[in-house]
Each structure stands twice: as C-alpha cells, then as structure tokens.
C-alpha cells in the first residue's frame, strides 16, 4: 500500500473520530446544557421525595403573658414500603397499636414504594411499643402538636387547628399566617432500588407570638359564673363579655356551650361558635339606651320630662302594643328605670325615623365592629326607607333589630366612657423573638355629647338603684346598667314566643370612672326569665370579683361582712384570683389516644395525696418540677410518658405524687401552679401602671 492510500485511510479514520467526538460533545451539550433541568427533575422524582411536616405555631398569651396555646413535639410514624418484605405481617403487628384495621395499613403500604404515613403525632407510649417491634422500613419523624394547657378556657377566642396545624377558628384562624411558620420539609432520599438511606429536615423561621387583651383570670371568672347561671336557669346558651370601656380592649369573652380545643372533632359544630361575635338576637329593653340617649342628645327630651304612658297601651298604625305593667305618668328617667315600652315608643316617635336611624348606625349597629376575630355578624338593621309605619315603635323598645352581644356591649361602653365608640379588639401585640409590635388601633368616633353620656350614666344608675336592675347592685362600688327581656321568634308560627326569651343585662362600674363594662346574655332560661332576675345577679357576681382583682378603689362604703372577707383573703396566698379551683380548671397533657382531659376531681385524695398505680418493674420516677412553667412541665411530662394535670397559672408550687415517686406510664400527675407573693405584687403594680398610662 502506497503512502497516498495510507494517508487517505488516516484521514477517513480521523474524520470518523472527529464526527463521533462531535456527536458525543453535541449529545453531552444537549444533556448538560439544554435538557439539564428536565433530567435533574426526573432524577429527583426517582431518588427523593419532599414531605411537608407540621410547622411549629407560635404561642398565644394572655395580657399577663400566661400561655393559652403552645406547641409541643410528638413523633409521627412513616414507612418506606420498598424495605418491607411482608406488608401483611407488618400490617397485623401495627394494627392493634395504631387502632386501625390491618387491611387499611396493608393498602397504605402498597400505595407507594418510597414513603407513606402510618400515623401522625402518636403518644409516647405508642411510639415506644412500635420501636420495640424493631420493624424494618418503619421510621419516625418529629412533628409539632398544638396544645391548649387551660383546656376549654377562652376556646371560642383561641380557636383550634387541624392535623396539619392550620388554624380553623378564632385567633388561630384570624392570624394563621402570622402565628404559623412555613411548613417544615422532610427530604426522603432513595437509591436505585427505592431503599431509604438518608433524610434531612429544613426548619423554617418561627412565627409571631400573639399577646391578647384577654386576662385569663377575668376569663375564668366569666366562664365560671356563666356556667353557674346556665346550670341555675337551664338556659340553652349564653354569653358573657367584659370590656375596658376606655379603649375597647376585651378582657373576657365567654360562650356557652363550649368545647375542648385539644379535641375539637369530639364536639358538635354549634359548640365551636363564638356567640359573642356571631349570634344575633333582638336586644329588647336594653336598646332603650339608644332610643333615650339619641333623644336627649338631640334636645328632644330631658330626664325630668313627664310622659304619659297611657296605662300600658299604645296604638301605632292600627297595631296595639302593651306594656309589661300599666304605667301612667313617668319621667324619662323612670321610663328607663322601669323599662316602660310605651314611654320609650312615645320618645322614639318624637325623635323620628331618619334621625333615629342615624344614631343607631352611629352606635355601630348594622355593621361589623371590626374586631380582630373571624365570623363576625354585621347584625340586622333595615335601611330607613324600608321601615314600616310600626318600625320606629318596635325598634324603640328593641324589636325589629338584630344585634350581637359585642355590638351591644360596645354601645354601652360608649355611654360609660363619655360618648366615644372604640373598635373592640382582642389582640394587644405581636411578639417575634425579642421584638414586640403593638397592634395599631383605630381612633374612636364620637356618638353622643359628653354631657349626654353623663346624663345617661345617672339614669342607668337609677335602673340599678330603683328600677328593674336592683340585683346588679355592688358592695363597695357604684354600678349602672340596663335589663333586657326579649321574646324570641317561634320558628313554627313566625310570631313572638310566649315562653322563649333572651334575658340580658349590660352595665358598668364604677359610675364616675368606669373600669369595666359587663354584658350577660342567657338564651331561653327556664322559669324566671327576666333580665333583672337571672342576668343582673350574674353581672353582680362577676363585677364583685373583677373590680378588686383590678385594684379598682371603692367609691361607696363597704359592708362589714365584705371587709372581714377581704381581710381573710389578704392573709392567705389563695386570695389571688389567679389561683383557680382545681375542680373547675384542669388540663391533661395532649394525647391523641386519650383526647379528653382528666379532672383533678377524678383522683381519690388521701392524706398522702392522690392514689397512683405503680408500674410493674419500678415505673417512672417523677422529677422535682418546682418552679417550672406550664410549658416546661408539659414538655417534660410528654417525654416521660405521663399526663400532667395543670391547676392554676404561674410556676409549680406543689406536685402530687411527690418528687421521686414511681408511677406507671400514662399515669396522671397533678401540678399546682401559683405565683410567689413578690410576683403577685409585681403583677398588680404592672396593672396599675398600665391603667395609669392610658
């Protein structure tokens, strides 16, 4: 072969190699540059799976920074089915521990090769039993669980969350985006045979804690007295509100029936309703405050003007309206004190529909108050052009208008504070790390002149001293308010019921410098049903406890009996309102397998403390948790596998069984919380400073 032939062959081989190299480079360029993202996504789908796990929610605190909602850590169980040799065997072993049918577990295992949840947020005892089985392909991941240490206290305000920690009611829903951090992610990595070999957690930044205007001590008083009233009157439902009239801060918001937010699925939907913001009712005679204050503010009447109440009957557009009593001549003050419908109607007719409508809207009726809670009802108020000839008369005595308890107490607070309508609110501030961000508040608007408000306060005092509200009189404090007894509409007939009533009382104390406005509403009480008979006493019991707690000075002499009781209270650490009765307020550590909390009353108490069953083989030694907070006690007990029964607030003062005692797993340990005397004095000083700063 001559030189030229070899040269041609070499050129052919070089050209072939060049073409091959160019093709390879082009293919690599196509894979690495043009189609890189597509193939990377395919590889990630085959080799890894990102699973969202429950994020940690920030705390919800009362105004004194006591925890009302917090998050604790629990184990969730998941499986990598590719590592499991016998799905049916694993299903049979796990079924009794997870309380699930074996068929359901087997179906889950066959639904995926790389990852499947078995059960979420398991009790520590269940986790230990599953670990003891030592099953291949079964793993655990830490997740956050919402826990409400005070059980059903302020449940309607706090709300609740679902299994994924998403807020479904109350503040939990309203501020879900602020409280809830972004969902944490668990990265599941697998090899070519779908075998799990590594995981990584990405923990996002925590959310913002919420500081409420609610005072858990006042909330407890409100709920306790509401429950007592429900039991005494056998009412279907009820609401109690306590508001600071000087700024619109809601100090307590109680609804009945109520629910346990630790186990919301076990309660009917109607129990999860916040009646204070969502339940409409006709206010009845309480609405005469609006009627008479509007007329006085317009100069149409005065407290001393005498009105002929026509012996309890009046005709409007052919309709006869009867009074509850046959009154003759009454002053306007007496019309309010004795709650004369005829007298209120005659004043309302002189005021006229257009001007009356303006004042009703000015007081905030017919529109949302703007409170920072979900589910608020705007109320029911027809436009004035749609009023009938009877409307002025009906609305003057509190019919033909629908209000919420929150709207009603807010209107009365405007009378108490001198004529200013504030936007009610339950959120005081948001706290992120060490920074506290105060919630911006809307400037109040004037409803009536200050002189009108002062006149109405004096008239409302007459209701309590000489009228229908005498059972709202306080010992050591002046008080004022108005009773209401409104007929409900009978769904069967569409007419007012002769037996179903809404009994209410709304008032404030002390008169000259009101510290609190309190509303009590009872739905369908049995037997006595007048607001002055069943609602006014509840107002009295609540105010008589709340005013001393807020260190409000007496403005009238105190009876010797009350003075003796006060001296006994000062001599005892138990005098502090925050030391709750153990039979009324207890809570157990959250456990999905045991959602219902355990009451301290359920434990037989002997001289040595509650009876606790010891475990075979030694059991769990209870550590000394004196001085620990509610959160610390909860987290420690969850890790130990015992259920804490939390009584009171502050730090642990006593515990039973005593430290070092041996108990079985799942046993309940009672912790009595309280505050040292120095801490109580600091809190009272803080409260006085907070009120003075206003």
- Tell me the average pLDDT across 555-562: 78
d(CA 36, CA 42): 10
One domain for residues 389 and 488: yes
Give the three-class secondary structure for 196. Answer: strand
Res 611: pLDDT: 33
d(CA 600, CA 619): 22
Residue 309 pLDDT class (50, 70, 90 cuts): very high
Residue 680 φ/ψ, nearest 5 degrees: -60, -40
The answer to whether residue 627 scores a pLDDT higher than 80 is: yes
The answer to whether residue 96 scores a pLDDT higher than 70 is: yes
Residue 564 pLDDT class (50, 70, 90 cuts): low
The answer to whether residue 618 scores a pLDDT higher than 60 is: no
Q: Which two tokens stand for residue 465?
A: 């001293």
Give the three-class secondary structure for 648. Answer: coil
One domain for residues 77 and 137: yes
One domain for residues 190 and 259: no
Give the single-character DSSP code of 395: H
Does any domain span residue 39?
no
Sheet holding 250-256, edge to edge: 250-256, 237-243, 516-523, 496-509, 480-489
One domain for residues 202 and 231: no
Place of tokens 């059980």: 151
Contact (CB, 8 A) for 307 and 323? no
d(CA 287, CA 398): 5
- Give the DSSP H/E element, type plus range, for residue 69: strand 67-79
Give the single-character DSSP code of 272: G
One domain for residues 254 and 397: yes
- Tell me the average pLDDT across 237-256: 96
Q: Which of 12-26, 301-315, 527-541, 631-645 is the least confident region?
A: 631-645
CA-wise closest residue to 260 among 272, 245, 243: 272
Does any domain span residue 462?
yes
Axis crossing angle, helix 536-549 with helix 216-233, rounded to the nearest 10: 160
Does any domain span residue 690?
no
d(CA 116, CA 99): 17
Q: In angstroms, how far is the first alpha carbon of the chain from the final one?
A: 111
Task: Report percent pLDDT > 70 for the chain.
Answer: 81
- Tell me the average pLDDT across 172-188: 79
Contact (CB, 8 A) for 340 and 330? yes
Strand partners, 329: 308
Place of tokens 């009023």: 387
Residue 692 pLDDT class (50, 70, 90 cuts): very low
Give the contacts of 491 (CB within 8 A, at least 6 positions apart): none
One domain for residues 207 and 220: no
Does any domain span residue 349?
yes
One domain for residues 382 and 431: yes
Give the single-character DSSP code of 653: E
One domain for residues 203 and 241: no
The answer to whether residue 45 scores a pLDDT higher than 90 is: no
One domain for residues 611 and 484: no
Res 295: pLDDT: 96
Contact (CB, 8 A) for 536 and 483? yes
**Residue 497: exposure state from Cβ atoms within 10 A (0-12, 13-18, ≥19):** middle
CATH number of the domain enclosing 380: 3.40.710.10
Give the contacts of 291 (CB within 8 A, at least 6 positions apart): 344, 347, 348, 351, 356, 395, 396, 397
Q: Which two tokens stand for residue 556?
A: 């009238």
pTM for the full predicted model:
0.77
Res 490: pLDDT: 77
d(CA 578, CA 217): 5
Q: Which two tokens stand for residue 599?
A: 């009451």
Does any domain span residue 364?
yes
d(CA 678, CA 675): 8
Going through 168-322 in order, the beta strands assigned E by DSSP cover 184-190, 196-202, 209-212, 237-243, 250-256, 306-308, 313-316, 319-322
Does any domain span residue 590?
no
Strand partners, 330: 307
Cis peptide before 510, with omega less than 30 degrees from 0?
yes
Res 55: pLDDT: 77
- Give the DSSP H/E element, type plus range, for residue 367: none
Res 185: pLDDT: 64
Residue 520 φ/ψ, nearest 5 degrees: -125, 125
pLDDT, one tens digit per residue, over 473-483 is 999 999 999 99
Sheet holding 184-190, edge to edge: 48-53, 184-190, 196-202
pLDDT, one tens digit per residue, over 358-382 is 999 999 999 999 999 999 999 999 9
Res 9: pLDDT: 79
d(CA 122, CA 75): 6
Give the contacts of 191 (CB within 8 A, at least 6 positions apart): 47, 197
Q: Which two tokens stand for residue 581?
A: 């009765």
Res 416: pLDDT: 96
d(CA 372, CA 210): 12
Give the three-class secondary structure for 465. Answer: helix
- Tell me the average pLDDT across 157-175: 92
One domain for residues 116 and 242: no
Q: Average pLDDT of the chain?
A: 82
C-alpha distances out from residue 126 to 95, 119, 132, Å: 12, 11, 10
Give the single-character DSSP code of 380: B
Number of domains within the chain: 4
Does any domain span residue 679?
no
Does any domain span residue 102?
yes
Phi-psi region of 352 (alpha: psi -120 to 50; beta: other; left: phi over 0): left
Which H, E and C letters describe 221-257, residue by residue? HHHHHHHHHHHHHCCCEEEEEEECCCCCEEEEEEEEC
Res 584: pLDDT: 33
- Give the DSSP H/E element, type plus range, for residue 360: helix 353-362
Place of tokens 């039979």: 583
One domain for residues 548 and 658: no
C-alpha distances out from residue 694 to 369, 409, 437, 688, Å: 22, 21, 18, 10
The answer to whether residue 433 scores a pLDDT higher than 60 is: yes
pLDDT, one tens digit per residue, over 102-145 is 889 888 888 877 788 888 888 888 899 999 988 888 888 888 88
**412-449 residues labelled b (16+ CB within 10 A) or e (exposed):** bbbbbbbbbbbbbbbbbbbbeeeeeeeeeeeebeebbe
For CA atoms 334, 340, 346, 348, the dihedral sign is positive
CATH number of the domain enclosing 636: 3.30.10.20
One domain for residues 423 and 361: yes
CA-wise closest residue to 291 among 513, 452, 421: 452
Q: Which residue has the higher pLDDT, 260 or 680?
A: 260
Contact (CB, 8 A) for 217 and 665? no
Give the single-character DSSP code of 104: H
**Residue 11: exposure state from Cβ atoms within 10 A (0-12, 13-18, ≥19):** exposed
Residue 480 domain boundaries:
216-558
C-alpha distances out from residue 202 to 75, 76, 196, Å: 17, 17, 18
Last-in-domain residue among 542, 558, 574: 558
């Amino acid at each position: 072969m001559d030189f030229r032939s070899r040269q041609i062959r070499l050129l052919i081989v070089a050209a072939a190699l060049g073409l091959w190299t160019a093709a390879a480079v082009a293919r690599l360029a196509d894979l690495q540059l043009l189609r890189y993202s597509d193939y990377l996504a395919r590889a990630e789908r085959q080799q890894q799976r990102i699973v969202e796990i429950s994020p940690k929610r920030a705390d919800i605190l009362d105004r004194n920074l006591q925890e009302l909602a917090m998050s604790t850590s629990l184990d969730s169980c998941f499986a990598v089915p590719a590592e499991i040799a016998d799905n049916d065997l694993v299903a049979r072993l796990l079924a009794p521990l997870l309380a699930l049918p074996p068929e359901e577990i087997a179906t889950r295992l066959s639904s995926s090769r790389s990852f499947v949840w078995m059960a979420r947020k398991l009790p520590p005892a269940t986790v230990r039993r599953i670990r003891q089985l030592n099953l291949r392909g079964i793993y655990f991941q830490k997740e956050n669980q919402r826990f409400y240490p005070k059980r059903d206290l302020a449940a309607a305000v706090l709300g609740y969350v679902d299994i994924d920690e998403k807020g479904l009611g109350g503040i939990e829903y309203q501020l879900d985006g602020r409280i809830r951090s972004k969902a944490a992610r668990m990265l599941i990595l697998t090899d070519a045979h779908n075998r799990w070999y590594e995981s990584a957690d990405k923990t996002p930044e925590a959310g913002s804690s919420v500081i409420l205007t609610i005072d858990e001590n006042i909330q407890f008083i409100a709920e306790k007295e509401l429950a007592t009233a429900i039991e005494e009157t056998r009412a279907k439902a009820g609401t109690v509100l306590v508001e600071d009239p000087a700024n619109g801060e809601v100090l307590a918001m109680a609804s009945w029936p109520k629910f346990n937010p630790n186990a919301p699925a076990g309660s009917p939907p109607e129990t999860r309703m916040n009646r204070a913001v969502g339940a409409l009712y006709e206010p009845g005679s309480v609405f005469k405050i609006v009627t008479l204050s509007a007329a006085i503010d317009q100069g149409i009447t005065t407290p001393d003007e005498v009105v002929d109440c026509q012996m309890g009957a009046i005709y409007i557009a052919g309709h006869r309206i009867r009074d509850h009593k046959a009154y003759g001549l009454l002053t306007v003050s007496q019309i309010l004190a004795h709650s004369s419908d005829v007298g209120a109607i005659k004043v309302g007719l002189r005021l006229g529909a257009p001007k009356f409508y303006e004042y009703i809207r000015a007081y905030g009726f017919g529109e949302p108050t703007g409170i920072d809670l979900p589910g608020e009802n705007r109320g029911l108020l027809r436009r004035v052009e749609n009023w009938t000839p009877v409307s002025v008369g009906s609305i003057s005595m509190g019919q033909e208008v629908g209000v919420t308890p929150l709207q009603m107490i807010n209107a009365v607070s405007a009378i108490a504070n001198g004529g200013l309508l504030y936007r009610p609110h339950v959120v005081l501030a948001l706290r992120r790390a060490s920074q506290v961000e105060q919630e911006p508040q809307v400037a109040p608007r004037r409803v009536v002149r200050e002189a009108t408000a002062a006149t109405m306060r004096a008239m409302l005092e007459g209701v309590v001293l000489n009228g229908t509200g005498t059972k709202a009189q306080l010992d050591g404090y002046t008080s004022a308010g108005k009773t209401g007894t409104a007929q409900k509409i009978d769904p069967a007939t569409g007419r007012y019921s002769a037996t179903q009533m809404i009994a209410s009382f709304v008032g404030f104390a002390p008169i000259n410098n009101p510290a609190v406005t309190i509303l009590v509403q009872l739905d369908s009480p049995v037997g006595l049903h007048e607001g002055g008979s069943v609602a006014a006493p509840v107002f009295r019991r609540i105010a008589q406890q709340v005013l001393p707690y807020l260190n409000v000075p007496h403005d009238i002499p105190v009876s010797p009996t009350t003075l003796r009781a006060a001296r006994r209270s000062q001599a005892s650490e138990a005098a502090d309102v925050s030391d709750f009765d153990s039979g009324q307020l207890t809570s157990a550590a959250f456990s999905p397998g045991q959602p219902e909390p355990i009451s301290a009353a359920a434990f037989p108490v002997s001289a040595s403390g509650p009876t606790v069953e010891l475990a075979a083989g030694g059991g769990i030694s209870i550590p000394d948790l004196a001085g620990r907070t509610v959160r610390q006690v909860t987290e420690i007990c969850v890790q130990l596998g015992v259920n804490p029964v939390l009584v009171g607030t502050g730090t642990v003062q006593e515990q039973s069984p005593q430290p070092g005692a041996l108990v079985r797993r799942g046993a309940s340990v009672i912790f009595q919380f309280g505050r040292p005397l120095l801490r109580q004095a600091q809190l009272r000083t803080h409260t006085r400073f907070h009120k003075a700063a206003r």
